[in-house]
Amino acid sequence: SIGIASFLAVPIMTHEVKLQGFECFDNAGQRRKCMDDDIYLLRLACDIFSYDYERRAKDKTINHMAYHDYLTGLPNRRLLADRITQTFARGGWKGRLAALLLIDINRFKNINDLFGHDAGDGILRAVAERLSRSVRDGDTVAYVGGDEFVIFLQEIARAEDAIRVAEKIFAALRPPMFINGVDISATVGMGISV
C-alpha cells in the first residue's frame, strides 16, 4: 500500500551486542531478491554506524571522567576552575556578585575509623546529594577531594544570599544519614567568600 516492492533491514549492533537501530534499503520500482553485494554494502554501512556510535559513547564517558569525581558524580576541581574562569571571562560583572562556599566534613577521619571506609564513601555521596539539592540549577557543587566540597554561586544579588544558601545547607545536613544500616550524623565547617 505504500509502494515498496522489496525491503532489506540490517541491525546496527554495538560490540556489547546492544541493538542501536536498523539500516534499511527499499526498492519501490521492482520486486527483486537482495544480492550479496547489497547485503555486504548494507552491513558495511551498519558497521561504520556502530563504530561511530561506540566511539562517541566512549568519548562522552572519557570526557565525563576527566571532569567529574567517580565516587560522588559531582564536578571535580578541574571543572570547577573552568566554570569559575568562564563565568568571569564573560564579563559584565559590574554590580553583580558571585560567591564561593568551602565546606569540609568535621571529624571525617573519625567516621572512617569508626564505621569503615565504605561508610565514609556513603557519607560523601549523601553529603554530595544534599548539597546538590540545596542550590540552584545554575550553581556548581564540586567535590575537591578528601572531605572537602566547594559550591560556586555564579550570580547573587547580595552577599546575604550566600548566607541564606549556607543556612539551607546546614539545615539539609542536620538530619542523620542512614549509611550501611547505621544512622550517622555529620557536621560541617564552612567558609564563604563573596
Return d(Cα 141, Cα 151) in angstroms, integer: 4
pLDDT digits (tens, 9 = 90+) for 76-120: 999 999 999 888 877 656 667 899 999 999 999 998 898 889 999
Q: Which of 190, 187, 189 is nearest to 177 (CA)?
A: 187
Confidence bin at 2 (pLDDT 50/70/90): low
CA 187, CA 185: separation in Å to the nearest integer?
7
- Per residue in 145-182, pLDDT (tens digit) is 999 999 999 888 899 999 999 999 999 999 999 988 88
When computed from its CA atoms, the radius of gyration of the chain, rounded to whole angstroms, is: 26
Q: How far is CA 42 from CA 9, 33, 72, 162, in A?
A: 8, 14, 43, 59
The pLDDT value given to residue 45: 77
User: In the prediction, which pLDDT does 92 show?
Assistant: 58
| Residue 12 pLDDT grade (very low, low, confident, very high; cuts 50, 70, 90) | confident
Predicted model pTM: 0.72
**1 pLDDT higher than 60:** no
For residue 75, give the 3-state DSSP assignment: strand
CB 180, CB 119: distance < 8 Å: yes
Q: What is the H or E stretch that residue 176 is in?
A: none
Supply the residues annotated as catalytic: 147
